[in-house]
């Protein structure tokens, strides 16, 4: 699953990597992007835009509702809550790395995961457009973890390189077909290591959050 990530680059670097223009506002680099925050998200209209959106939204479930921050790639195209968004409101969330918590005994140990060959990348997402009642908000799609990441957690975000970003945003294909295409292995390295549990506190931020405590491995993401 993906519940925290870093976006440790300036707005202008995001604009240039994604060839997109910021619609409004400004963003500082962050090493602790968390659900509930407003973050830059790429959408495609006439051209590519970076739009401020809130991470997560309420989904009706049972008689009540739940705050959801992820959707499974396996089911996003068929679940009633997400199907319409997956077909019409796809987006890409800029990122420079993400965190996963490994359960070890009763402890949860945070790992930072990033890609040395892909220092900036996108995560596939869907979003709810702005309405009179509610601001725009997004979810991050999750998938089966690949390679070394399997030893940390059983889900991870759907990571997109430049080509993947185009495949996810472009064209008129059915969302199931599109996901199959987007999930094709492309083979780049993932570096993973444990970090300080200071990242647990959403109010804490700074480059020290991604400082390595214990190195685990550099491995191929897709094998």
Which residues of the chain form contacts with DNA (CB under 7 A)?
Answer: 1, 3-4, 34-37, 56, 59-64, 66-72, 75-76, 78-84, 101, 103, 108, 110, 142, 153-155, 197, 200-203
Please report how close the Cβ of residue 123 comes to DNA at its closest, in angstroms: 13
Please report how close the Cβ of residue 96 comes to DNA at its closest, in angstroms: 17
Please report how close the Cβ of residue 121 comes to DNA at its closest, in angstroms: 19
CA–CA distance, 161 with 196 (Å, rounded to integer): 28
DSSP string for residues in 55-118:
E-EEEEETTEEEEE-EEETTTTTTSTTTHHHHHH-EEEEEESEEEEEEEETTEEEEEEEE-TT-
Of residues 32 and 96, the one with the C-beta less far from DNA: 32
| Encoded tokens for 80 | 């009633």
Please report how close the Cβ of residue 189 comes to DNA at its closest, in angstroms: 23
Of residues 44 and 155, the one with the C-beta less far from DNA: 155
Of residues 69 and 190, the one with the C-beta less far from DNA: 69
CA–CA distance, 77 with 86 (Å, rounded to integer): 6
């Amino acid at each position: 699953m993906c519940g925290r990530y870093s976006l440790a680059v300036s707005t202008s670097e995001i604009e240039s990597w994604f060839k997109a223009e910021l619609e409004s506002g400004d963003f500082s680099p962050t090493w602790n992007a968390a659900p509930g925050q407003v973050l830059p998200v790429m959408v495609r209209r006439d051209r590519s835009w970076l739009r401020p959106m809130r991470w997560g939204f309420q989904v009706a479930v049972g008689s009540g509702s739940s705050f959801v921050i992820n959707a499974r790639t396996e089911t996003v195209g068929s679940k009633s809550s997400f199907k319409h968004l997956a077909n019409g409101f796809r987006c890409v969330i800029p990122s420079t790395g993400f965190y996963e918590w490994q359960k070890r005994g009763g402890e949860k140990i945070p790992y930072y995961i990033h890609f040395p060959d892909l220092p900036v990348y996108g995560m596939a997402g869907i979003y709810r457009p702005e309405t009179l009642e509610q601001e725009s908000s997004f979810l991050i799609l999750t998938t089966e973890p690949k390679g070394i990441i399997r030893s940390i957690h059983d889900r991870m975000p759907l990571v997109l390189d430049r080509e993947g970003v185009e495949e996810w945003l472009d064209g008129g294909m059915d969302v199931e077909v599109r996901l199959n295409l987007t999930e094709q292995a492309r083979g780049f390295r993932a570096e993973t290591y444990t970090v300080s549990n200071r990242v647990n506190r959403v109010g804490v931020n700074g480059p020290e959050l991604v400082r390595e405590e214990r190195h685990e491995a550099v491995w191929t993401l897709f094998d």
